Structure 1
Amino acid sequence: MPEPKPIAGTGGDAAELAQFGYQQSMERHTGKFASFAVAFAFVSIATGIFTTYGAVLNSSGPVGIWTWPIAVVGQLAVAFVLGTIASRIPVTGYAYQWMSRLANPILGWIIGWISFTFLAIVVVAVDYTIASTVLPVLLNYEGTSTVTWAVTALVLVAQATLLALSTKWSQRFNNGAVTLELIGMVALTVLLLIVAAVRGDMDASNLFSKGAVAAEGFWSFGDLTSAGPWMLGFLLGAFTIVGFESAANLAEETNDPERVVPRAMCQAVLASGVLGFIFLIAVTLAAGDPVALAESGTPIADVIKHTLGSTVATLLLLMVVIAIFACGLVIMMTGIRLTWAMSRDERFPGWQQWAQISPRFHTPFKATMLFVILAELILAIFSQSETALFTLFGAATLLPAIIYAATVVMYLLKRRDLPVNGKFDLGAWEKPIVAVAVVWLVFELALFRDASFKDAWLYVIVMVVIGACYLGYLLARRGRDGLAMPDQHSIDAVLDQEAGSGRP
């Protein structure tokens, strides 16, 4: 495989990386806040809530927002588990690396491919949100399918251009955007609560309203092919509180990743969960008639404009556009890093090209071009669909649930063998945290039996079949031994040593 020129001056982190068989080939300039910003931007409560609030109004009514805190607790438990693994294996490629080294390279490749398909579609879903639910209100135009497709395509190109030219400037932009989102969402929430209360537009009954959703069977779990109305509300949190592990995919660019990355992941989930829920309450209180609002394609933007007026709403919606752009930027960055990591191990189709680091820009330039082209192709496929946004967010919720479930199961099987580094451990809380994560993921995956997700499942099946064909080619050409990870023996030796020491 190509041997990138090592980066000098990276100290102990480069030595730690060498234990996994890799040279330091990208610059380490990601600190604590930048790592948190990556995780927080991917979660992006502005993006997730703007994307899915309308769907929740139609499926569960306003009372569906009470599923949010439950989803946050479940995802926080998952973040603790994944953070523990990320601290032990601080290598770019996150779930692909974890599964390859702790289970086996074949399962690792499968999870890596599923992660890639998730990132390729979720960046389209996020950027589609800008074009379909925010810009039409902000710029006062009709968001037809053709216009939405064109705007989304331009946003994808802008993100890819920034990432291809400079990782440092991409992170600087993201740091600023996250700071703006944190300040802006707090300000937006406070203003909605105060102005709605002063004007008498605050309706507490909305918090417990079912809207236009039928009361019969509302609280039921559902049957074999459908989930109950309130159960579908969990997709609000399940779609939004994902991607926190993206910080782990920049492990080779982060200073002291064993300590910084897992904390960034958990802090991002907690901050997003608390702030997001308060914002949901504020919006729902000021929603007016929830039945009428559910018919809008831009419900959040409509509430903001009605409550705060056009001038303030314009400024706040501009902040939301920047936040969503940053979310898509981080998603694309994560997908590019995964493509590069799998290519470095000669596991990705056309790896010879995508494993290269540009000597001029110090970025995976060619991997960036590949990723944005694939994203544009996915966008073109969904461009004329009337239900494009729901299909995209459905697939983008299903795929991480599969990845998280596989990773948590792997942790259950290998947790006693993981070496302890003293930088991030669950300690006495391990069993209850893992139990919460397992129960939550089983419940979440059960929601996707609903027939409304058939197109999302179709996307998953098509991409898995494509991946299976390439995996079959790799196995036929190299055999199982040919898929061994670089310096696999090093971590095996550590695991064997820890197991032999009788550590409980």
Structure 2
Amino acid sequence: MSSIPPSALPHVGGQDTLKRDVTAFQSFAIAFGFVSIATGIFTAYGAMLATSGPMGIWTWPIVVIGQLMVAFVLGSLSARIPITGYAYQWTSRVANPVLGWIMGWVSFTFLVIVLCAVDYTIASTVLPAMLHYTGGAFDAWWITTLVIIAQALLIAFSTKATQAFNAMAVTLELIGMSCLVVLLFVVGWYRHSLDFSLLFNTGALSRSGYFSLGSLTHVGPWFMGTLLGAFTIVGFESAANLAEETNEPARVVPRAMWQAIVSVGGLGMLFLIAITALLGDVTAMTASPTPIADVITRVLGPVVGSLLLLLVIISIFACGLVILLSGTRLVWAMSRDERFPGWQMLHRIHPTLRTPVNATILVSIVGEAILSIFSRDTDALFVLFSAATLLPTIIYTVSVLMYAIRRNSLPPSQGFSLGRWEKPVVTLALLWLLFELTIFRDESFFKPWLYVLIMLAIGAVYLVWLLATRGRHGLAMPDMIAVDAILDADKGAEYDTAEH
């Protein structure tokens, strides 16, 4: 243990600790807020119409089941290693610290790109429909910039206020989306606008070869539809990134993950059926940059439609808020272990605000920099959400493979276990993830792969520098028994505080 830097240990009672006050509902709200039906479907539905036609919605149940299996595995990991930094911490301790650092950097890359993808949705697909204007790439850029700044200010000044806003937004989203689904079905039925034959319509795509697997550089039309669900149902593991701020994380965090997916899966499928059955002119809706907003406004009228679109904006803002919050915790955790560029500043917790202000500023700046790259790109939304789907797939695949190989050497769980279902769950999760990775062989994903490779190259340069200056032993992490001891000490400190 002598080779471990002092900052590699989660301190108990020190100035670099985070307050443990996240409740079970707030943990669920973090997972649900990141996944967010409103955000994912509003962002990716138009792309699904273009690549798969309306019938692409039937890939949604496949993704829900696949991601649920992944969530069970990640929940099992989080119950055994409930420490802020999720995939970075798990891989560092279960596999090796070098691979752990790589996973941490990939996770950071994912969080900053998905932050841009989510916040960009407000400016590119919702506001134009709500305010009746034709937005351009530059308009979307500066509006998204303001949104990120607002989120960063809220996170930097108060974690409690951030959690409260997100919990409120998630409650509104659950109620609002449920009401929206009911209204769409009821009004659509009353006006005789529901056309369920559209659920099996392929749009402008030929039925010949529609279900084919495709070729080496081309994916079949129907299977491209999985991107809708794969982009939406990610980030549920963000609850684990606040493990050190959550009460009873080994029990609460895994439950928050699978509950978020089940909630989004069921409600999202009903929403997709309603929207698709009300599409009307499929060709016109496929060409529209805001098909869902157009359907809502046409069916429910401009007033109700605008109110519901306002709810969508709140939900998307909360989603971006959770993403930025998760990103700051990851940067803080890696900086606490002296592994992130600029860790000397980034591991600090503000003495008054009790938040990682410096880490928040950094993630926001990197997000703004990435956003500026796409400021003139008319295809920015597709590139952003594609990259934000590819990266978590890589993270999940490595995490599940690691679990499959090392599951017998993991520390015991005090809150969640797969039990006799472990092998089938892990097998299904791996099969789903390997299939999902094959989707990204399509030539349309050239730009997302380019972004990933550039970010990995930047990370590789810093990793080489770390290894050259510290050596492999300088990147060592605490042993599992040390982690358990630290968590036990943390619980003891909380108990003593409560007693006095």
The Cα offsets for residues 387-421 of structure 1, whole Å up to 9 and x where unpaired, read as: 10000001000000000000000000111112223
Is the 8 Å Cα contact of residues 177 and 323 (structure 1) preserved in structure 2? Answer: yes
Cross-structure match for 1:40: 32
Change beyond 3 A, Cα 1:489–1:431 = closer
| Partners of 2:88 and 2:104 within 8 A in 1 | yes
Which residue, out of 23, 29, 38, partners 2:12?
23
5 Å-filtered alignment, 1:69-218, equals 69-218=61-210
Distance 2:369 2:84 in 1: 26
CA contact (8 A) 2:79 2:414 kept: no
2:247 alignment partner, one of 249, 255, 271: 255
Asked whether the 8 Å contact 2:5–2:337 carries over to 1, the reply is: no
Give the 3 Å change call, closer, same or farther, for CA 3–480 of structure 1 in structure 2: closer
What is the deviation of 1:491? 5.1
Correspondent of 1:299 among 272, 291, 300:
291
Task: Give 1:23's aligned amino acid.
Answer: V
TM-score (norm 2): 0.94
Query: Runs of 5+ in structure 2 lacking a partner?
Result: 487-500
The letter of the residue matching 2:292 is I
Partner residue of 1:9? none
Counterpart amino acid of 2:277? L
Provide the C-alpha distance between the structure 1 equivalents of 2:407 and 2:480, rounded to a whole number of angstroms.
18
Q: Contact conserved, 1:345 with 1:486, CA < 8 A, in 2?
A: no
Is 1:395 matched up with 2:387? yes
Aligned to 2:495: none
The residue that corresponds to 2:59 in the other structure is: 67
Q: 1:156-215: per-residue Cα shift (whole Å, max 9, x none)?
A: 000000000000000000000000000000000000001011101110110000011122
**8 A Cα contact 1:90 1:251, kept in partner:** yes
- Tell me which residue corresponds to 2:218: 226
- Equivalent position of 2:493 in the other structure: none
1:240-296 CA distances to partner (integer Å, 9 max, x unpaired)? 000000000000000000100000011001101111001000101111111210000
Per the alignment, residue 359 of structure 2 pairs with 367
Percent of matched pairs sharing the same residue: 61
Contact 2:210 2:220 in 1 (8 A): yes
Separation of aligned partners in 1, 2:97 and 2:373: 32
8 Å Cα contact 1:219/1:229 also seen in 2: yes
Aligned partner of 2:441 in structure 1 is 449
Report the Cα distance in structure 2 between the residues aligned to 1:26 and 1:467, rounded to whole angstroms: 27
Amino acid at match of 1:279: F
Check 1:476–1:489 CA distance in 2 against 1; reply closer, same or farther (3 A cut). farther
Contact 1:101 1:491 in 2 (8 A): no
The Cα offsets for residues 12-31 of structure 1, whole Å up to 9 and x where unpaired, read as xxxxxx9x653251111101
| Residue pair 2:93, 2:478 contacting (<8 A) in 1 also | no
- Measured in 2, the distance between the counterparts of 1:46 and 1:32 equals 22
AA aligned opposite 1:22: H
Inter-partner Cα distance in structure 1 for 2:285 and 2:70: 33
**Aligned counterpart, 1:485:** 477
CA distance in 2: counterparts of 1:189 and 1:261, whole angstroms: 29
> 2:335 corresponds to which letter in structure 1?
S
CA–CA distance in 2 between the matches of 1:291 and 1:420? 55
Q: Which residue pairs with 2:455 in the alignment? A: 463
Taking structure 1 as the reference length, what is the TM-score of the superposition? 0.93
* Structure 1 residue 485, shift from structure 2 partner: 1.3
> Per-residue displacement from partner, 1:323-358 (whole Å, max 9, x unpaired)?
000000000000000000000000000100000000
Runs of 4+ in 1 over 4 A off after TM superposition: 1-4, 491-494
Measure, in 1, the Cα distance between the counterparts of 2:256 and 2:18.
20
**Paired residues for 1:300-449 under 5 Å:** 300-449=292-441
- Number of residue pairs matched by the alignment: 480
Change in Cα spacing, 1:146 to 1:21, as seen in structure 2 (3 Å) is closer
- TM-superposed deviation, 1:128: 0.2
In 2, the alpha carbon distance for the partners of 1:77 and 1:188 equals 29
Q: Aligned-pair distance for 1:146?
A: 1.2
Aligned residue type for 1:104: N
Answer with 416-425 or 368-377: which moved more. Answer: 416-425
Q: What is the aligned-residue RMSD (CA, Å)? A: 1.6
Determine the structure 2 residue equivalent to 1:499. none
Q: What's the CA shift for 1:138?
A: 1.0
Cα distance in 2 for partners of 1:294, 1:188 equals 22
Question: Is the Cα contact below 8 Å between 2:327 and 2:363 reproduced in 1?
Answer: yes
8 Å contact from structure 1 (residues 21, 486) kept in 2: no
